[in-house]
Amino acid sequence: DIQMTQSPSPLSASVGDSVTITCRASQTISTYLNWYHHKPGKAPKLLIYDASSLHSGVPSRFSGSGSGTDFTLTISSLQPEDFATYYCQQSYSLPYTFGQGTKLEIK
């Protein structure tokens, strides 16, 4: 299985800040990397697919980059609703695997 490792966790920031979350794959996954936003009791939401493509309806303050083994999710100008847990997920090969999650907390 491909192991996905996220950093940092947790991450503390304030409304209006810009933050970056990193995800590293244990082997190359091209750009088959997706990012999700998750709040307790809610459905996870797709933010970014194919490493850098913004999912429909997702605000443009979210952006993704990377290829191979190293990827980043950047959120510019944090809004109150952005404080949640973020997961990366590889869809390069089965079984799909997720990072351990990065909890973004209000400073």
Partner 1 sequence: QVHLQESGPGLVKPSQTLSLTCTVSGGSISGGPYFWSWIRQPAGKGLEWIGRIYTGGSTNYSPSLQSRVTMSVDTSKNQFSLNLNSVTAADTAVYYCARVSSMDYYMDVWGSGTTVTVSS
Residues lying near partner 1 in the complex (CB under 8 A): 1, 32, 34, 36, 41-46, 49-50, 55, 87, 89, 91, 94-101
Q: Is the dihedral of CA 29, 33, 38, 44 positive or negative?
A: negative
- The three-state secondary structure class of 81 is helix
Cα separation of 106 and 17, whole Å?
10
Cα separation of 103 and 32, whole Å?
22
* Of residues 85, 92, 94, the one with CA closest to residue 50: 92
The two three-digit tokens of residue 53, written as one number:
């493509």
- The smaller minimum CB distance to partner 1, of residues 71 and 87, is found at 87
- The smaller minimum CB distance to partner 1, of residues 17 and 45, is found at 45
Q: Cβ of residue 56: shortest distance to partner 1, in angstroms?
A: 8
Q: Cβ of residue 38: shortest distance to partner 1, in angstroms?
A: 8
- The smaller minimum CB distance to partner 1, of residues 12 and 53, is found at 53
- The smaller minimum CB distance to partner 1, of residues 17 and 50, is found at 50
Q: Cβ of residue 98: shortest distance to partner 1, in angstroms?
A: 4
